[in-house]
Amino acid sequence: MSPMAIVLFVCLAAGAVILSMAVMLTPPLARRQFGPQLLLHAEDLTAVDTDAYTPPRGGYRPDAITLQTIQYGAQDWDRDFLQTFTAPVLAIMRVRENTNLEMARGYVVPSVYTWLARQPEIFAGVYTMFFLTEASVSEFQVVDISVTGDHMDETWTLLRRRNPINCRTCGGSVSGVSGGPCRACHSPCTGFEAGWRVLEIRRS
């Protein structure tokens, strides 16, 4: 084996080790990251007694805000998981553009609702969302996502209870992936079956 091939092999092996260590460390690091947030929002969490399933209706222009997703990696799990919170995030964005926040109340904790009421409305246009990190903490699953667009760069923390996700038509167990059919009654999911709520929004 040539010296160049040996160097290349060592570099690839080292990269694989670093990547595997990063993957193994991510859940504990994420749990430590989300733990203080949950403590900070203890009062908000008392309001999250049930998951939010029903899409907000009426009063906003569906074509005013669009949301494109970016995924780093082609794994089906990543793509499906990203889709579980696309629908509620998009609905909240559209309500913010319309400034009729009442329709989004069910998808945010009380402190976020108050925060949104003090923020200027966002602009119509195309926004981008991508997944940052996730962890299971206590009885919740928690994720951080990035939402960026015209004059806006935000990090959202969303959470849902670690309960089975139920089809709104028949009550059967579903993944919550937007458009994915229920295995029991074959009704398509709207994405709101996933039950996510916004725990925190941080502006960069």
Domain ranges of the chain: 42-203
Spatial distance between the Cα atoms of 87 and 18, rounded to a whole number of angstroms = 35
Alpha carbons within 13 angstroms on the beta-carbon side of residue 127 total 30
pLDDT in tens, 26-85: 556 777 778 888 888 888 887 666 667 777 766 667 678 888 888 765 566 677 888 898
Band of the pLDDT at 164, cuts 50, 70, 90?
Answer: confident
Token look-up 């504990």 returns 28
Which stretch of DSSP H or E encloses residue 155?
Answer: strand 152-161
The total of other beta-carbon atoms located within 10 Å of residue 154's CB is 18
Cα 5 from chain centre? 43
Tell me the β-bridge partners of 92: none
pLDDT for the residue 202: 93
Spatial distance between the Cα atoms of 16 and 33, rounded to a whole number of angstroms = 25
Q: For helices 76-84 and 86-98, give the axis angle rounded to 10 degrees.
A: 40
Mean pLDDT (the chain) is 79
* pTM recorded for the entire structure: 0.79
pLDDT for the residue 1: 55
- The two tokens of residue 125 are 């246009």
Q: Indicate if the pLDDT at residue 146 is higher than 90.
A: yes
